[in-house]
Amino acid sequence: MKVKTLSMAILACLLVANSAFSADFPIGVFNSQSIAMESEAAKAAQKKLQSEFGNEKTQLEKQAKDLQTKADDLQAKSAAMSNQAREDKQREFLELRRNFEEKSRDFAIRVEQAENTLRQYLAEQIYLAAETIAKKKGLKLVLDSASGSVMYLEKNLDITKEILEAINAAWKKGGSKLPEMANRKK
């Protein structure tokens, strides 16, 4: 919260200041969300997540439908069953539901961990590219407009495209490899 407040205060000072001040204090602004959606690394990360978890997600969705069908069937037929048969079917259904919920939780945790790994990788790439461009252009301050602290931005201060190009170039140069995702299916 303090960083956001500080960023807004600095930005307000810069916007209020005259053009002579801005010439002495060059700034750049970029949009990390735009880069995270448009970069080749981000697109590859989405494909990797889909290939890694897509089939399992589809299977879980099918299991959820099957479980709902069994619940509906049990509800419809329970009145005609004996008490023992109804209790057996209910126990069986509850066990299936517990197993499904456990699989779903495990799946959600693994997907979240993989997303976090890829998000962290992309954030590092954005930071490195922003730092390189800032040094190259002699910028003294670089802000991320996606953080919500930039209210106004002149086009000449926006370095999003340059950062995106730098990340894509580094992606191609680095062999287009994403980090390994931890916590695969046990």
The CATH H-level superfamily of 2-173 is Skp domain (3.30.910.20)
At 177 the pLDDT is: 74
**Domain ranges within the chain, ordered by starting residue:** 2-173
Ranges in the chain, pLDDT < 50 = 18-22
At 4 the pLDDT is: 57
At 20 the pLDDT is: 46
Q: pTM score, two decimals? A: 0.70
At 173 the pLDDT is: 85
At 182 the pLDDT is: 58
At 172 the pLDDT is: 86
The torsion angle over the Cα atoms of residues 61, 67, 69 and 74, rounded to 10 degrees, is: -170
Q: Which residues contact 38 (CB under 8 A, 6 or more apart)?
A: 164
Q: For the chain, what percent of residues have pLDDT higher than 90?
A: 48
At 48 the pLDDT is: 92
